[in-house]
Amino acid sequence: MTSASLLDDAERIGQTLVPVAEAGTPGRVNRDLVAALGRAGLLSRLFDELTARELCQVRQGLARVCPEAETAFAVQGLGGVPLQRFGSAPVRDRWVESLAKGDDIAAFALTEPDAGSDAANLKMVAESDGDGFRLSGEKTYISNAPDATVATVFARTTPDTGAKGVTAFAVPMTEVPGEPIAMLSPHPIGRWTFDGVYAGPDQVLGEVDGGFRVAMATLDLFRPSVGAFSLGMAEAALRIAVEHAQSREAFGSPIASFQGVSHQLADVRVDVEAARLLVYEAARAYDEGDEGAITGKAAIAKLHATETAQRAVDVAIQVLGARGLEADSTLAHLYKEVRAPRIYEGTSEIQRNIIARELFKGTI
């Protein structure tokens, strides 16, 4: 599977995964789907130094046809890649191969009840216990919780130091109590409660008090690909709307001939093309190590692509009318899927804050 064909290959694989995705239980990890992603070779690419551009291509291709498969792929990477890139040899040996096969399930446990966008305000503590640590606190709105078998968990090791006192850990999760949270979208989301969960010194990812670097390095890689996920959904919605506008007649003419319809779709097409360019420019900046521009470009790409996807799905539903509102329609499904990316991995408002900051710094 070459990089040039990766987008098309991901879309083709995604089409084969639709029945597996539909057989899953909403709100819980679909292990068969994760395993199928492993057998298709997509998960192994996550742990084979996948470039940001390639990550975007996979997410865009899967999102065009099977958003559930896209989400399963992305969350496996978000939770697992820090283990591969920052983990000790024992951590890598224990988890990376099984995650790449889809045998184990990963999660990225950053958000807390009082620390979402303000990730430096983490309250979960990791207190010293001999050579290791005891983790206590709550993580909530975590993708793949409570079903994940391992998580990248962020906890405070030095009090009153903001982002500088946070450490990342690789934590087995099978014995940590948790519960699912029913959400608008069918994704597996939940919370965990840590009550003195032990983490040995070899479970530290990166360095003690260096967890924020682990978080930001991971999010900088994945943020442009959130835009790619949204781009794929926008493309799917636009395709459905265009096909319907060409075939549906009203007052003796295809509704595509009405400016009220065609101009809306033209505007969506412009936004989709802009999103594509922004997403892959952010990926380029990451892959070429343009460190001064990565954060700002990733924020621009995520903001524009996620907002574009929301508009694209809304316009498509408007064009289809009542057909777009049928509960089992693709657009109704996309309508539930498309809302979350404007919130996770940094809300649209946070992206605007980042863009403004980088603008005044002169990096974008």
Sign of CA dihedral 346, 350, 351, 354: negative
State the catalytic residue, choosing from 11, 112, 307, 345. Answer: 345
Residues facing 180 on adjacent strands? 190
Does residue 345 contact residue 219 with C-beta atoms inside 8 Å? yes
Cα 124 from Cα 250, distance rounded (Å): 59
Does residue 169 contact residue 214 with C-beta atoms inside 8 Å? no
Cα 268 from Cα 313, distance rounded (Å): 10
Name the strand (E) or helix (H) holding 218: helix 211-247
- Nearest of 134, 146, 69 to residue 105 by alpha carbon: 146
Query: Residue 289 CB: number of other CB atoms within 10 A?
Result: 8
Cα 43 from Cα 72, distance rounded (Å): 10
Does residue 124 contact residue 138 with C-beta atoms inside 8 Å? yes
Residues whose CB is less than 8 angstroms from the CB of residue 172 and which lie 6 or more positions away in sequence, other chains included: 149, 150
Per DSSP bridges, beta strands 189-199 and 204-205 are unpaired
In eight-state DSSP terms, residue 25 is: P
Cα 94 from Cα 132, distance rounded (Å): 18
Cα 85 from Cα 215, distance rounded (Å): 12
Does residue 238 contact residue 265 with C-beta atoms inside 8 Å? yes
358 is catalytic: no
List Cα–Cα distances, 275 to 106, 167, 230, 309, in angstroms. Answer: 29, 34, 9, 9
**Residues known to be catalytic:** 345
